[in-house]
Chains A and B, each alone.
Chain A
Amino acid sequence: AQTVTQSQPEMSVQEAETVTLSCTYDTSESNYYLFWYKQPPSRQMILVIRQEAYKQQNATENRFSVNFQKAAKSFSLKISDSQLGDTAMYFCAFMSGDTGNQFYFGTGTSLTVIP
């Protein structure tokens, strides 16, 4: 079974600063996808960024970027120029490219952006 680990239950960052959220995963597969989802207080799950394991280039979406280290099975999320609206739970998720399409989620990191 796949496992996803987020070792930082809570983090905080000053507005306009940069913060990095950690995620590691365990799998024996070589074909898979990794995601970061944001869950604000409304509890809606919002896709932040997605990375295909076969791509060496790290994904970037505006202020959000990832550091994907396939050999180390690490997938961290960097948020630049943090904004108050970034305050939320952030979940890292794994999806196999070969054996089913369900997501395996980490336990989440609660991020607070401090004005």
Chain B
Amino acid sequence: DAKTTQPTSMDCAEGRAANLPCNHSTISGNEYVYWYRQIHSQGPQYIIHGLKNNETNEMASLIITEDRKSSTLILPHATLRDTAVYYCIVRVGNDYKLSFGAGTTVTVRA
């Protein structure tokens, strides 16, 4: 699987949009971008995934650059409950394995 690079940590203000970047410059054409998050001492939670096109669901939006070498997860209106470690993962579509790296620790402040 392609390696991903994420900032170690970031802060954002409650009610504002949180933009989480991820670099995956060695991504292959058949690899998807997945985002999970893990709130302290809980199991990871699936957020969203995409291949080429931008995706949106009730939790977040995923913006993938045209060359697919980077992506941004957008939490449109961050709340205190969004404080968590966010993991950007790339994996082949028919491979169940998820390789969790260190992720980005996001702290939402009131």
A binds B: no
Enumerate chain B interface residues (CB-CB to A < 8 A).
none
Enumerate chain A interface residues (CB-CB to B < 8 A).
none
